[in-house]
Structure 1
Amino acid sequence: MTGVERPLGAGDVFGDRVEEAERFVRLLGAHGVERGLIGPREVERLWDRHVLNSAVIREVVPEAATVVDIGSGAGLPGIPLAIARPDLRVTLVEPMARRVAWLDEVVETLALSSVTVLRGRAEEPGIRSRVSGADVVTARAVAPLAKLSGWCLPLLRQGGLLVALKGASAAEEVDRDRAEVAAVGGGAPRVESCGAAVLEVPTTVVLIERVQSTAGSGRRARKDQGAHRG
């Protein structure tokens, strides 16, 4: 089986939209390497390592949520998530023009009416003004957790959820960056697995709820650090 052949578990994740997922895989397999979206070795593992790996985070995304995918790149995890969950409204945010062009083409080709593409970075005021108040922000292989939280948590409504797709060292990253996450308004990070029923290696995610405003949390973090030093 090659990376562009549909695995048995795909139907369980995508349901009656599995053909759209398959079309996305074929597009990525045909054009991803030449357009600098994926490495040559990734073509053989598009389904498991990239598309299903992304789509299974549907398990932790609330119904009818507004989702912002930061640093979307090839459309991961935003496009597989949007295919698997048509109830979601998904905005893909990507700074590089050639990748934005790719995302626009995919959205049009697959007729993903619930997906919007924006060019920019999460920390830019223009992007923040357009997507703030989201229910969920996703990010895959974008930045360390401390920096990622500073970019993404301000985009969330109070009680909204950052879903960061991470690797095997997620727990170590959480321990290292816990204070920085709290300083920008995040609650206690939780490490969870998604897709255990369909993936040989489940997707590891770090979930962080926005529990307070950035300004307030920053003051509290500085006060706590000062008390600790004293």
Structure 2
Amino acid sequence: MLASEAEAKAYVASLCEDTALERLELLAHLLKEENERQNLVSRGSLAEVWLRHIADSAQLLSFVPRGTHWVDLGSGAGFPGLVLAIMRPDDKFSLVESRTKRVEWLERATEQLTLANCKVFGQRLEMVETFAAGAITARAFAPLPRLVELAKRFSTKDTVWVLPKGRSAIEEVNGLPRKLRSVFHVEQSRTSSEAGILVGTGL
């Protein structure tokens, strides 16, 4: 379990090249600046940005193979989407966000971070044209049953769902229709003893 900013940064550094680490440092800087203009993340969490946001996002990479087209639902502050896009430059990322100010932030961030592998969809998910995603992720987008209902049209039998959740992870799986419960299992988060990651395939 990662317990400090130093441990979190070292963990992230072990997963990427120096150029990606530099971009992640720039992302942290841009986030702190933007958070003065709009409440992207809780102010208190900025003191632990590597642990609470960057490493928390980076840990999802271990569940998804390289060469994947990711869809990040409700990208908001850019977690996990921007972090993953920085660390996987050869993967493709579609960031879906409907709130205007956050769309503007995501567009500025992708430009300043020179993320050519990122496309921001500034609209509700229901309005995004259907395509086959290799991975679907979301952080605080919607309760699991609603999330599955909205996003399953992007899923194939090979799509990997990686969904960071808090202590409610098991309860949310149990809230799914019976035929879907076996699709997901819970992995322990590296950044919080109380958090889990829902991982599923075959929807």
* TM-score class normalised by the smaller sequence: 0.7 to 0.9
Q: Separation in 1 of the partners of 2:10 and 2:135?
A: 29
Q: Separation in 1 of the partners of 2:135 and 2:121?
A: 16
Aligned with 2:188 (options 190, 193, 196): 193
Aligned with 1:60 (options 60, 63, 87): 63
Which residue is 2:98 aligned to?
A: 95
Give the Å deviation of 1:61: 1.2
Task: Provide structure 2 residue ranges, at least 5 long, that are not aligned to the other structure.
Answer: none
Task: Provide structure 1 residue ranges, at least 5 long, that are not aligned to the other structure.
Answer: 212-230
SS of the aligned residue for 1:158 comes to: coil
Which residue is 2:122 aligned to?
A: 119
Task: Using structure 1 for the length normalisation, give the TM-score.
Answer: 0.78
Which residue is 1:128 aligned to?
A: 129
Which residue type is aligned with residue 206 of structure 1?
L
Distance 1:22 1:203, change over 3 A: farther
Which residue type is aligned with residue 146 of structure 2?
K
Give the Å deviation of 1:104: 0.5
Alignment of 1:141-156 (within 5 A): 141-156=140-155
Distance 1:188 1:10, change over 3 A: closer
Structure with bigger RCO (C-alpha 8 Å, 6+ apart): 2
Work out which of the two has the higher radius of gyration on C-alpha atoms and give 1 or 2.
Answer: 1
Distance 1:13 1:110, change over 3 A: same
Moved over 6 A (4+): none
Conserved 8 A contact 1:69-1:137: yes
Which residue is 1:209 aligned to?
A: 201
Percent identical: 30
Give the Å deviation of 1:128: 2.9
Q: Separation in 2 of the partners of 1:22 and 1:41?
A: 18
Q: Separation in 2 of the partners of 1:25 and 1:108?
A: 15
